[in-house]
Amino acid sequence: MKVKGIELRRIAMPLKAPFRTSFGVEYARDILLLRVETPDGEGWGECVAMSEPRYNCEYVDGAAEVLRRFLIPALPDHVTAATVATALEPFKGHRMAKAALESALLDAQLRAGGESFASYLGAVRDRVPSGVSVGIMDSIPELLDAVEGFVAEGYLRIKLKIAPGWDITPIAAVRERFGDALLLQADANAAYTLADARHLEQLDPFGLLFIEQPLADDDLVQHAHLARRLATPVCLDESIESAAHAAAAISLGACSVVNIKPGRVGGYLEARRIHDLCRAHGIAVWCGGMIETGIGRAANVALAALPGFTLPGDTSASSRYYATDITAPFALDNGHLSVPTGPGTGVEPLPDVLAEVTTSTEWITV
């Protein structure tokens, strides 16, 4: 596939409500989109890096810079999604930037060939169960009202963001209000240390699906120690940046569940490799989210339709975060989202909405 050029487009997407985690509060998303142009058409990709390097070391300005200076110039004259990782391998890290470039190229490639993301990746379902992530609130009543609203909308799983000082009490309150039948999990975003193990043991009576990323992202060994202490299963998120990381975590016994975020691991092809590895070792996986627009959400839904994704993911409806999405919105249908079947991601940006939220564009000839 010959690439004529790539557009870097920044958009500003206000959130319907502030979203608070252990590492900060988001009020809006500054998002970098990539549009790849080829002689046979175009493809879109979304970079999931945040405005500041708090979730991991990447941030949106840095992603744009590494794309324009290093990654895009490294593309060979003819490239496919399957070969782009090799071309970018000399550049260390920057997995979110690489993932955005790979997904835009894959979208263009599949659109030209008339094949969907779901078909290419190996999806086995035409819809996927949807969960929702609930941020840290100012009070327990506010939290309970939020959860009640999401349950009423039909979400099949509730994830509560937790941090020291906001963990046992809110989880106990949600479990008491909504009962044991509610699929419930906790996400710490690396807010604890192994010294908190005894405290985290207090989560065990609540029957959580798992606790996600309780300790530092670079410490698989201590996660293995914690996993042996807790009855609650341990899920890894930030710690898993590749199939090699997943293999190490499984070998150490550091987790029994893996959250697969394509942006975090360098793209959908590496995400599929992690899926295959975990499935072969009996490790449950689910698809995490980074508050994507419809472009990234469509690809995530396709990934979540693979056979190893046995737990509801963060593939929430568009209305969870945005009043207006830049594509036709994803809507819940009895707790599920439909897997797009059109070529590529199966979604198109809405020109008028895209123009309204665009803050800058940059064209790079390849």
Q: What is the pTM of this model?
A: 0.96
Distance CA 121, CA 304 (A): 10
| Cβ-contact 176, 225 below 8 angstroms | no
pLDDT given at position 26: 86
Do the strands 131-134 and 24-38 form a parallel or antiparallel pair, or are they unpaired?
Answer: unpaired
Identity of the residue numbered 139 = S
Average pLDDT over residues 57-68: 98
Q: Which tens digit of pLDDT belongs to each residue from 260-286?
A: 999 999 999 999 999 999 999 999 999
Q: What is the pLDDT of residue 24?
A: 81
Q: In 164-219, which residue ranges form alpha helices assigned H by DSSP?
A: 168-178, 197-200
Query: Do strands 24-38 and 5-21 pair parallel, antiparallel, or not at all (unpaired)?
Result: antiparallel
- Of 69, 157, 40, the residue nearest 364 (C-alpha): 69
Predicted pLDDT of residue 255: 98
Architecture of domain 5-114+350-365: 2-Layer Sandwich (3.30)
Please confirm, yes or no, whether 16 is among the known catalytic residues.
Answer: no
Per the rule left: phi > 0, alpha: psi between -120 and 50, beta: everything else, 207 is left
CATH number of 119-338: 3.20.20.120
Which residues of the chain are in CATH 3.30.390.10 domains? Answer: 5-114+350-365
- pLDDT tens profile 318-327: 999 999 999 9
Residue 287 has which token pair? 């698809």
The average pLDDT across 115-139 equals: 97
Structure tokens at 65: 């810079």
Active site residue 261: yes
Given a cut of 80, is residue 9 above it in pLDDT? yes
Q: Say which amino acid occupies 42.
A: E
Which residues, including other chains, have CB under 8 Å from residue 165's CB and lie 6 or more apart?
none
If pLDDT is split at 50, 70 and 90, which confidence band does 57 have? very high
Average pLDDT over residues 332-348: 97
| Percent helix, percent strand, percent coil in the chain, to nearest 5 | 40, 25, 35
d(CA 124, CA 308): 10
- Kindly indicate the confidence band of residue 19, based on its pLDDT and cuts at 50, 70 and 90: confident
Set 16, 92, 98, 161: catalytic member? 161
What is the model's pLDDT at position 282? 97
18 has pLDDT over 90: no
Span(s) in the chain for CATH 3.20.20.120: 119-338
The band of 217, judged by pLDDT with boundaries at 50, 70 and 90, is very high
d(CA 324, CA 221): 43
Q: How much of the chain exceeds pLDDT 70, in percent? A: 100
Average pLDDT, the chain: 97
Q: Is the pLDDT of residue 23 over 80?
A: no
Residue 316: its pLDDT value, please?
Answer: 95
Cα atoms in the 13 Å half-sphere on the side-chain side of 174? 35
Whether the CB-CB separation of 100 and 113 falls below 8 Å is answered with: no
Give the pLDDT confidence score for residue 278 in this predicted structure.
98
Which residue among the candidates 2, 4, 92, 261 is catalytic per the annotation? 261
